[in-house]
Amino acid sequence: MDRPDKTTHFGFRDVPLDDKQRLVNSVFHSVASRYDLMNDLMSGGLHRVWKDIMVNTLDPPRGDRPFALLDVAGGTGDIAFRAAKAAGTGFHATVCDINLDMLRVGEARAVARHLDDRVSFIEGNAEELAFPDRAFDGYTIAFGIRNVPRIDRALSEAFRVLKPGSRFLCLEFSTVDMPGLDRLYELFSFKVIPPLGRAVTGDAESYQYLIESIRKFPKPAAFADMIRAAGFSRVNWQCLSCCIVALHSGWRL
Ligand SMILES: C[S@@+](CC[C@H](N)C(=O)[O-])C[C@H]1O[C@@H](n2cnc3c(N)ncnc32)[C@H](O)[C@@H]1O
């Protein structure tokens, strides 16, 4: 049981652990309708490349072999749609997210893409998944885990719902490892992104939180230790774009 006085980070602020989820929910409530546009503007379209790399790594079967993907913190469905396009007829994705505003945008996108029979959307918390043990052939979480207050619980839940022999993949912002680019990236993050957020969504504060939360997220080696602690094997990670982003992998064996 967590002590009621336990704190965590909400961006650079220390907040009571139990308050973080409410604050995170208000961020995504505020930006949901323009979330996808902002991703393109902030990353210059690079988030599409990173997500494609994640789906290529997942490598869902192309044929009719059944494959059930759980995409947690799946928001507006980007990973699930990419995986559905890459996969064969046996594929089905469940997008689970705590925020109904994000899920509603995702459902409308699924209908527009004629993918609503292969991708379903369910409200739920990564820390307490409402799915049976060993139910899924793959688990993905993209740019989601740093928003979850109790990351260790989310990782244990990922392990629980995966079938033995299946893979956990997590795409998350990391720490730029190229001198020179790191300073440019800091400058761009703090000087450009919040004003851009204000111009596009009317909300600079949510984007201030997003960039601060990136700085507070554990470094790849420390996060890999957390993935191992949840029970995963063959844990590793791959830096993408000078480690702006890292793709973490683990197997439930
Ligand atoms: C940055 S978005 C990522 C969306 C999508 N995966 C993508 O890559 O475009 C983060 C998502 O995490 C969701 N989220 C935050 N806390 C969560 C939790 N405890 N359980 C499930 N989803 C959560 C938010 O609602 C939001 O949709």
Q: Per-residue pLDDT tens for 8-55?
A: 988 888 888 888 999 999 999 999 999 999 999 999 999 999 999 999
Mean pLDDT over each residue of the chain, to the nearest integer: 95
Q: How far is ligand 1, taken at its centre, from the CA of residue 73, in Å? A: 3
Nearest partner of 73 among 8, 22, 132, 146, judged by Cα: 146
Q: How far is ligand 1, taken at its centre, from the CA of residue 104, in Å? A: 13
- Residue 224 in this model has a pLDDT that exceeds 70: yes
Confidence of residue 3 (pLDDT cuts 50, 70, 90): very low
The residue whose CA has the least distance to atom 6 of ligand 1 is 74
- Residue 187 in this model has a pLDDT that exceeds 50: yes
Answer whether 77's CB lies under 8 Å from 119's CB.
yes
Pocket residues: Cβ below 6 A from ligand 1: 21, 24, 28, 72-75, 78-79, 97-99, 102, 125-127, 142-144, 147-148
Q: How far is ligand 1, taken at its centre, from the CA of residue 147, in Å? A: 7
pLDDT in tens, 145-172: 999 999 999 999 999 999 999 999 999 9
Nearest partner of 151 among 39, 73, 235, judged by Cα: 73
Out of 102, 152, 217, mutate this one to test ligand 1's pocket (max ligand atoms within 8 Å of CB): namely 102
| pTM for this prediction | 0.96
- Residue 5 in this model has a pLDDT that exceeds 70: no
d(CA 70, CA 168): 10
Q: How far is ligand 1, taken at its centre, from the CA of residue 162, in Å? A: 19
